[in-house]
Every structure is written in structure tokens, then in C-alpha cells.
Chain A
Amino acid sequence: MTQDNAFISIRHVNKFFGSFQAIKNVSMDIGHGEFFSLLGPSGCGKTTLLRMLAGFEAVSSGEIYIDGQPMSGVAPHHRPVNMVFQNYAIFPHLNVRDNIAYGLRKLKLSRSNRNEMVDEMLELIKLPEYGDRKATQLSGGQRQRIALARALILKPKVLLLDEPLGALDKKLREQMQLELRALQRTVGITFVFVTHDQEEALTLSDRIAVMSEGRDLQVDTPTRLYENPVNSEVASFIGTMNFFDGVVTSIKGDTVVIKVDGLGEVSAPAGKVSLLAGDSVSVAIRPEKFSLTDEKPDDVQYCVKGHLDNAAYLGERSHYYVRVEGVSQPVAVSAQNRNRTGEAEDRKRPVWLGWDSAAVVVLKDD
């Protein structure tokens, strides 16, 4: 994404609370109509960044552009964005209709026009019967929808959502994820979505910014984040990852050969990192990229012998932990239970690990 067609552009933004720096030189561009997520552990600055987009916190330095306009000094009520708060912030003294119609006062609509818009929204959030209920009498999921409707009725250019599904139980959360994604497609508004749940971010987003301790580590599509993480922090935050230490022995075009502790000489796609022979690197392989067999496999490029240390049966797949000589941590392997029968499995047997060169990610951490 280039800066020219970016709809929201965050340029070198820093944020200090006193002497504590919550946001450290963050830059990112968000496209028109994108479902964009901010993902990171609790306390990494997601809410702070979102509140700076909404205008509740001023940037300490740097600039935020929305639709080409610099936002410094623009008050929240003048920004073309609306927010769904982490705790929904439903107005407790108003009923559902009045909550949804709250932002319409300035549009000076006729009463019938207004009612029509509210009815449309109630329909959209699937609560058509609830207009006259007191907002405080509703469940978490229903309040969350009202918070959505209240923002969407103003047809904002950007909708900011701060962990909107965090307070819901798992079942409801999964249902709301689907509805949210469908809704975003219907209304075509840019969504900036904050979550600490990587699965949720992967399911929903067009692109994700992974954050840690106030920094943006990588901004990319879900598949690229998972398959081509730029460093070990991103790699370990998204899904599970096995890391091995190694030293570069040679480089031929796009392929790099690495001597990996415990795995021997392995070739791998070089990716974006610039490497020199003799560099020490991290080699990362996802658990599901390994094959696990009792006999030496002949359909993979590389294999190594190991000893099964532990196994966990999870229904549709199993997790195995394999000890390999020369590797400090047991190697995690995830396998589909395609040929599994009800028979018990020996969890302490010798096994073979197999993998292909395409599965190997080379990371160079500074």
C-alpha cells in the first residue's frame, strides 16, 4: 500500500504519558474500505493509537492524516470517524432508539425521516423489536450491536472498534465475528479493529498491524504474517513456531544454505532479509509443516530422527513434542488425525521428522 491511495496515514507518531512512551515512532497506511486490525498483547498501545485516531488523545509528535486531512488540533466531534468503545459506553438514561439516534440531532431531520433511519439500523443489527427497551436492560452482545448502530447511522468514513468482542463468550464472539465481517462488506466503511486475539485478527482482517511495546512490528496480510513473519517476535506471537539456531554457509540467488543445530545442512528461501555467509540466524518452522512418521520418509526433502516426548490428542489433530539431538527445546509438531483409529498410541517411540525447504523461514534478529 503506497501513501497515495492511503485513506488513513499515520506518520512517525509518538505518544508520551509523562515520561512513559506508549507509542514509539509508529507509521502505517490504511486503505479505503479495508478491514484493518491492530493486534498485540495487552498494554502494547493499541487503545492509545485508536484514541489518537478518534481525537481523544493528542499525538506527542508525528501526524495522522484521514482522507488527506491532517488531524492535529481537530476535535473528536469534527473528525470523520466514529468509535465503538471497549465497554460500549451506551447512554444509560436513553432507550435503544434514542441511543441509536443520538448523533442525528445536528442533521435536523424530520421526525419520520429520523425514525426511518433508526428502524433501518435496528433491522441491520437484528434487534427490530428492541427500540423501546431501556439500554441498560440488554445483554452484552445486544449492547455491542447498539454501539455499532449508533456509530454506523452517521455513515462515518472510518469505524474504530476497540476490542468490541472481548467481553462476549466464545460462542457469541464467533457469531459476532462473522456478522461484523459481513456488515463491513455491506456498508463498505474502513474498519480499524483492535484485538489481542490473534485468531480473531486472522479471521477478520484484510491486513493486520502487529504491535509490541508501542512499536509496529509488521503490517501485512494474515497469510503473509503467518507464513513470512519478519522477526521472531511476530513469528511467536502469531501461532506457534519452532525456532532453531543456525549459521549461513552459502547463498545462491534466492536460496540460502544454513547449517542448523540438530537438523544439519538445510536450504531455505532467502526472503527479504539480507544475509552474508557466516551470519548467525534463527530458522523457524511451523508445527504443521513437519511430517511425523515411524519409518524414514522418502517424500520429503529433509528428515531427521527423533524421539517422541509427549503427545496431546485434540480430536481433529494431535500435537506432538519431539526430542531431537542437538536441539534444546522439544520440536512441536501438529498433525491431522486422518488415518487415526481408536487404538491407543505409543507416546514414547522413536519417530522421523520430515520437512521441505519451502517450509523454512529464515529470521535475522538484531
Chain B
Amino acid sequence: MKSDTYIKRSNRPLQFYAVLFLIVLYVPVLFLPLFSFNDSIYVSFPLKGFTFQWYLELLDREPVWASLMNSIKVAVTTSIIATGFGIFAAKAITRYRLPGRGPVVGFIMLPLVVPGIILGVALLVLISQLGIRLSLYTVTAGHVIVCLPFAIATLIPRFEGFDKSVEEASADLGENAWWTFWRVTFPIVFPGILASLLLTFTVSFDEFIMAFFLSGTDATLPIYIWGQLRFPQAFPSILAMASIILVVSFILVFLGQWINRDAQSESLESTKNT
């Protein structure tokens, strides 16, 4: 559409920058699916031919499926726990007049900026001090800590986006805090909860460093893949696996954003209409 307002007019350098940005970001990633269809065990140009062989080979590799199941178990548990905690944290942060709200939020967001390797070592020290055996449970605990900031960051805009007087209206119409949460708060923030579940699932599923430090004998998928890199003949099917994960992750994150897309616009609309 032709539009000549100052803000909307097209800007060549900016468009060029955007395209370049996307290329740098995604082209390396696109090599994964490309070579996963290549009929050669060596990852190098020129490409040899097209094959589904590596994908078929995946089907026969027991340990791949075992570690995939481990990862799914950990990711499902992590996403539920992190989102559950996230709901209460987001509600507390947005609803109650907390003294020192800023520092509290900053503290919760800390795992985003603390290098994973430090967090991983710290947790490993703690867990071995407590005498707990490393297992998928310890991996899950580490993942919850890593995922909590993502959950809260996804949920806070949802909680901020709706007018707290609807919760008061519910209390006024006779419902206690529990029923008010289930009948009003929960349905209104539900898209945010779904988005948080999808996002934390993806983060946990791909997570390597925590899993590396905290897993015992049962490997998660990233750990298994890491282990297989030593064997060249296994590599192409790892590429195939990675391609599948890439596509599924992309779909999940995209779905989450799409479900939660109206968090902002809806809150704008409700203020506009009153």
C-alpha cells in the first residue's frame, strides 16, 4: 500500500538491514536440513544427491528414542512447574503493592543473564552437597530455574493487560478469591498460560548446559547428540534429528506467540472502549 506519512514511508537502508539480519541469523541454521537430505556421510559441498536414508536410519536407533522420551518427560514437567510458579509470581508482581517490586523482578530474571555454566556448576555443587543422586529429576530442577524467567516474562503482560476491577467485580458478586481466580483471572490470562507452556517446553527441550551438569545415567536428547558427535557415521542422522527438532521448536514458539498475540492489543482496546 502506498502511504506517505512520515513514519510509514519506506526506508531503503532499513529494509536492506532487515534482510541482511535475517540472512545472517537463519542461513547457518538452514544448513542442518540441507545436509540432512544429502546422500553422503560427510558434511561438505558439493552436495551428492537427495536421500531420506538418514531419517529412516533414525527409526532403528533405540538410544535416540530413549533420550527423546527423556527430553519430552523433562520438558513437559518443567513447563508445567515453571508456568505454575510463573502464574503466581506474575499475579503477585502485578496485583499487590510489593515493596521493592523492581529488585524482586530483576532477581527473578537473573537466570537469563547469569552464564549457564556458572548456574550449572553452582547447582551441581549444591546438589552433591545435599547428597542427592543426579537423575532426570535434578535436570528438571535446573530447567525450572532456567525457564522461570521466560514464563514470567510471557505472563506479566497478560496480567497487566486486564483491568483489576473485573476481579473486584467478581468479589462484589459473591465469589471468594479462589473462585474469582478460576472464573475470571484464569480464563482471561489463559492464552498467556498456553504461550508460557509452549515456550518453556521448547527452552527445556533444547537446553544443554544444565542437562550436561545435572543428568545422571539417563541422557536427554541434546546430551545424547553431543555424545554422538564423536562418531562420523552417526552424524548425518543427528542432522536429521536436529532438523526435526528445529521445525517442531519453530512451530511451538510461533504457535505460542500467535495464541498470545492479542495480549497487547486487547488491553489497548479495553481502555479505549471505556
Q: Please tell me if A266 contacts chain B, counting CB pairs below 8 Å.
A: no
Q: Is the CB of A87 within 8 A of B184?
A: no
Given contacts A93-B188, A136-B270, A136-B273, contact A87 B173 (CB under 8 A): no
Contacts of B187 in A (CB 8 A): 93
- Which residue from B166, B172, B184 sits with its C-beta under 8 Å from A76? B172
Q: How far is the CB of A129 from chain B (nearest CB, A)?
A: 21
Chain B: number of interface residues, binned into ranges: 20 to 34
Given contacts A93-B187, A136-B273, contact A154 B166 (CB under 8 A): no
B 82-122 to A, binary, CB cutoff 8 A, 1 in contact else 0: 00000000000000000000000000000000000000000
Contacts of A89 in B (CB 8 A): 163, 165-166, 168-169
Q: Is the CB of B174 within 8 A of A85?
A: no
Q: Which residue of A lies closest to B169 (CB)?
A: A89
Q: Is the CB of B270 within 8 A of A85?
A: no
**Which residues, 54 to 108 on A, are CB-close (under 8 Å) to B?**
54, 56, 75-77, 81-83, 85-93, 102-103, 105-106
Q: How far is the CB of A123 from chain B (nearest CB, A)?
A: 20
Q: Is the CB of B173 within 8 A of A154?
A: yes
Given contacts A92-B188, A93-B187, A136-B270, contact A75 B166 (CB under 8 A): no
Nearest 3 pairs of A and B residues by beta carbon: A103-B173, A89-B169, A89-B165
CA distance in complex: A90, B173 (Å): 12
Contacts of A167 in B (CB 8 A): 274
Number of interface residues of A (CB under 8 A): 27
Q: Please tell me if A150 contacts chain B, counting CB pairs below 8 Å.
A: yes
- Which residue from A85, A140, A150, A151 sits with its C-beta under 8 Å from B168? A85
Contacts of A103 in B (CB 8 A): 173-175
Given contacts A93-B188, A136-B273, contact A75 B171 (CB under 8 A): yes
CA distance in complex: A81, B172 (Å): 8
Q: Is the CB of A85 within 8 A of B173?
A: no
Q: Is the CB of B172 within 8 A of A87?
A: no
CA distance in complex: A93, B186 (Å): 10
Given contacts A87-B274, A136-B270, A167-B274, contact A92 B172 (CB under 8 A): no
Contacts of B173 in A (CB 8 A): 77, 82, 102-103, 150-151, 154
Given contacts A85-B165, A89-B166, contact A54 B175 (CB under 8 A): no
B 235-274 to A, binary, CB cutoff 8 A, 1 in contact else 0: 0000000000000000000000000000000100110011
Q: Please tell me if B70 contacts chain A, counting CB pairs below 8 Å.
A: no
Given contacts A77-B174, A77-B176, contact A83 B273 (CB under 8 A): no
Q: Is the CB of A54 within 8 A of B172?
A: yes
- What total of A-B pairs shows CB separation below 8 Å? 70
Q: Give me the interface of A with B, judged by CB distance under 8 Å.
A: 54, 56, 75-77, 81-83, 85-93, 102-103, 105-106, 136, 140, 150-151, 154, 167
CA distance in complex: A30, B238 (Å): 78
16 other A-B residue contacts (CB within 8 Å) besides A75-B176, A82-B172 = A76-B172, A77-B174, A83-B168, A83-B169, A88-B274, A89-B168, A91-B184, A92-B162, A92-B188, A93-B184, A93-B188, A102-B173, A106-B175, A136-B269, A136-B273, A150-B173
Q: Please tell me if B170 contacts chain A, counting CB pairs below 8 Å.
A: yes
Contacts of A82 in B (CB 8 A): 172-173
| Most chain A Cβ neighbours within 10 Å, of B162, B175, B274 | B274
21 contacts between A and B (CB under 8 A): A56-B168, A56-B172, A76-B171, A76-B172, A77-B173, A77-B176, A81-B172, A82-B172, A83-B172, A85-B165, A86-B165, A87-B274, A89-B165, A89-B166, A89-B169, A92-B166, A93-B184, A102-B183, A106-B175, A136-B270, A150-B173
CA distance in complex: A56, B180 (Å): 14
Contacts of B270 in A (CB 8 A): 92, 136
Q: Which residue of A lies closest to B187 (CB)?
A: A93
Contacts of A90 in B (CB 8 A): 166
Q: How far is the CB of A186 from chain B (nearest CB, A)?
A: 21
Q: Is the CB of A91 within 8 A of B169?
A: yes
**Which residues, 49 to 80 on B, are CB-close (under 8 Å) to A?**
none
Q: How far is the CB of A90 from chain B (nearest CB, A)?
A: 8
- Which residue from B163, B172, B184, B188 sits with its C-beta under 8 Å from A77? B172
CA distance in complex: A151, B168 (Å): 13
CA distance in complex: A83, B187 (Å): 22
Q: Is the CB of B175 within 8 A of A105?
A: yes
Given contacts A75-B171, A77-B171, A77-B174, contact A87 B165 (CB under 8 A): yes
Q: Which residue of B lies closest to A90 (CB)?
A: B166
CA distance in complex: A85, B274 (Å): 11
Q: How far is the CB of A166 from chain B (nearest CB, A)?
A: 10
Q: Is the CB of B168 within 8 A of A154?
A: no
Q: How far is the CB of A67 from chain B (nearest CB, A)?
A: 17
Q: Which residue of B lies closest to A85 (CB)?
A: B165
Contacts of B176 in A (CB 8 A): 75, 77
Contacts of A154 in B (CB 8 A): 173-174
Q: Which residue of A lies closest to B165 (CB)?
A: A89
Q: Which residue of A lies closest to B184 (CB)?
A: A91
CA distance in complex: A154, B188 (Å): 24
**Which residues, 160 to 204 on B, are CB-close (under 8 Å) to A?**
162-163, 165-166, 168-176, 179, 183-184, 187-188
